[in-house]
Amino acid sequence: MFAVALGAEVTVLSHTANKKEDALKMGAKDFILTTDEKWAEPLAFTFDLILNSSDMTNLFKIDDYLSTLVVHGKEKLR
Sign of the CA dihedral running 43, 17, 63, 49: positive
Q: Lowest-pLDDT range, 9-18, 26-35, 64-73?
A: 64-73
Indicate whether 18 belongs to any domain. Answer: yes
Q: Are 30 and 11 in contact (CB under 8 A)?
A: yes
Domain count, the chain: 1
What H or E segment, with its residue span, contains residue 62? helix 62-66
pTM above 0.95, yes or no: no
pLDDT band at 58 (very low <50, low <70, confident <90, very high): confident
Q: What is the pLDDT of residue 76?
A: 57
Q: What is the pLDDT of residue 10?
A: 96
Domain limits for position 61: 2-66
Q: What is the pLDDT of residue 73?
A: 62
Question: Is the predicted pLDDT of residue 75 greater than 70, yes or no?
Answer: no
Between the alpha carbon of residue 21 and those of residues 12, 24, 31, 59, the distances in Å are 11, 5, 9, 24
Indicate whether 72 belongs to any domain. Answer: no
